[in-house]
Amino acid sequence: MAGMKQELAQQIVETVKETCGYDINYITERGIVMASTDPTRIGTYHEVGHLAGQSGETIEVEKTGQYEGTQPGVNIPFYFHHVLVGIIGITGKPEEVRRYGQLAVRIMRLILKEKDLEQSLEVRRMQNTYILHQMMEGEAVNEKLLKEFLQVHHLNEKMTYRMILITARRDIKNTHANSLENRIDTWLSQWKEMVRIFDYPGTFIILISSRMFEEHAESWKKLADIAAVAVGGPYSINRISRSYQEARITQKSMEGHFGIFDTLPLTFLLSNVSEHVRKAFLNRTLSELNDRQKELLSIYYQEQMSLKDTAESLHIHKNTLQYQLERIKEACGWDPRLFHDAAALYLALLMEKQERT
């Protein structure tokens, strides 16, 4: 591990000293003390450490002054992946510290293996993010990388998959967004036949087999208690970009906090309305209504235009609700209690929601 950082080298010497109790030096192949439990030795030249690195053999020093910048002790060259990493110097009488040499080597190897694993996992995470983004955007992925990606995650080209977009709900009070995201991440970790990445500022992007999703659809619905869950349709792995686009449409169009593209034919049509037509329609329907009136309409339509249920949801009397609906009719010219007018206002509310998101 050429080019080891000083911070890691210092961690190694301090860990070894905690075990054996003697001062430890970490010496580079050029003989410079990079890290030490004796701060006065950091940056000094260590002749015997330099010699040990050149020879590849352990060198013991019996007395001070025998070599430049060297005290009595044992100096052990350390190799990792067949490459000289550095030299560990244990300060003390050789007959006392010699027995700690192999222990120091084992500790050093464990620390470097841990760092190796961390780096490997980070590389894997970055690779997953890159490949999945390429697939989502419908761009060509290197054939070898794609094959490895499928094998590592046990994905089958003959099966169909869905893309799911998940964001922590911001309307849940007294809960920090990060804690919600941690809960979502923990919940997701239980699933197999799935790849997940996190897209800043706050979206989990999921690739999951259609079979796995459909078998556990009710569990995914429960996730909507803490997150907004938008699900794209089922496609083969080489057409997964379509599922991603459908998940985005669902995210913009769904009512509530859970939506599957397969069940959203109306919003699919709305998503393909041109910008010019959309603005003209919104201008004709909602432009004269304020936010409070639009919110009342949304609840009214969620409650299937039931005056009783809507009044209960809004905690107002039915007569008050009737009065407010009449005021909406006067403001925009559309009567939310008539089917034809209600349909137009409902479509307009969906369009406006799509625009906001």
Cα separation, 310 vs 321, whole angstroms: 8
- Same structural domain for residues 182 and 81? no
- Same structural domain for residues 265 and 290? no
The CB-side HSE value for 114 (13 A sphere, CA atoms) comes to: 9
Domain range for 159 is 153-270
- Kindly state the percentage of the chain with pLDDT values over 90: 41
- Same structural domain for residues 35 and 51? yes
Inform me whether the pLDDT recorded for 92 exceeds 80. yes
Q: Confirm whether 148 is domain-assigned.
A: no
- The C-alpha angle 69, 70, 73, rounded to 5 degrees, equals 165
pLDDT band at residue 243 under the 50/70/90 scheme = very high
Q: Confirm whether 124 is domain-assigned.
A: no
Cα separation, 93 vs 101, whole angstroms: 13
Q: Name residue 96's amino acid.
A: E
Q: Name which residue leads in pLDDT, 172 or 46.
A: 46
Q: Which of 47, 53, 55, 93 is nearest to 74 (CA)?
A: 93
Mean pLDDT for the stretch of residues 40-55: 92
Q: Name which residue leads in pLDDT, 246 or 114.
A: 246
Q: Decide: 78 and 108 in contact? Cβ < 8 Å.
A: yes
Question: In this predicted structure, what is the pLDDT of residue 334?
Answer: 95
Region of 82 on the Ramachandran plot (φ > 0 left; ψ -120 to 50 alpha; else beta): left
CA 91 to chain centre: 45
Mean pLDDT for the stretch of residues 173-178: 67
Residues 6+ apart with CB under 8 A from 77: 52, 53, 55, 56, 57, 58, 84, 86, 87
Question: In this predicted structure, what is the pLDDT of residue 268?
Answer: 60
Q: What is the pLDDT of residues 269-307, one digit of tens each?
A: 676 677 888 899 999 999 999 999 999 999 999 888 999
Residue 111's domain is classified under what CATH number?
A: 3.30.450.40
pLDDT band at residue 186 under the 50/70/90 scheme = confident
What per-residue string of b and e applies to 308-322 under the rule 16 or more CB within 10 Å gives b?
eebbeebeeeeeebe
pLDDT band at residue 122 under the 50/70/90 scheme = low
Inform me whether the pLDDT recorded for 1 exceeds 50. no
Inform me whether the pLDDT recorded for 120 exceeds 70. no
Element (H, E) at 207: strand 203-209
Question: In this predicted structure, what is the pLDDT of residue 2?
Answer: 47
53: how many CB neighbours lie within 10 A of its CB? 23
- Same structural domain for residues 349 and 307? yes
Q: Confirm whether 144 is domain-assigned.
A: no
The CB-side HSE value for 116 (13 A sphere, CA atoms) comes to: 10
Q: Confirm whether 133 is domain-assigned.
A: no
How many domains is the chain built from?
Answer: 3
- Same structural domain for residues 157 and 254? yes
Q: Name residue 300's amino acid.
A: Y
Q: Confirm whether 250 is domain-assigned.
A: yes
Inform me whether the pLDDT recorded for 65 exceeds 50. yes
Inform me whether the pLDDT recorded for 325 exceeds 90. yes
First to last CA, the chain: 48
- Kindly state the percentage of the chain with pLDDT values over 70: 92
In DSSP notation, 257-290 reads TEEEGGG-HHHHHHHTS-HHHHHHHHHHHTTT--
Question: In this predicted structure, what is the pLDDT of residue 272?
Answer: 67
Q: What is the pLDDT of residues 160-175, one digit of tens each?
A: 999 999 998 888 776 6
Last residue of one domain, picked from the residues 230, 245, 270: 270
- Same structural domain for residues 253 and 323? no
Q: Confirm whether 254 is domain-assigned.
A: yes
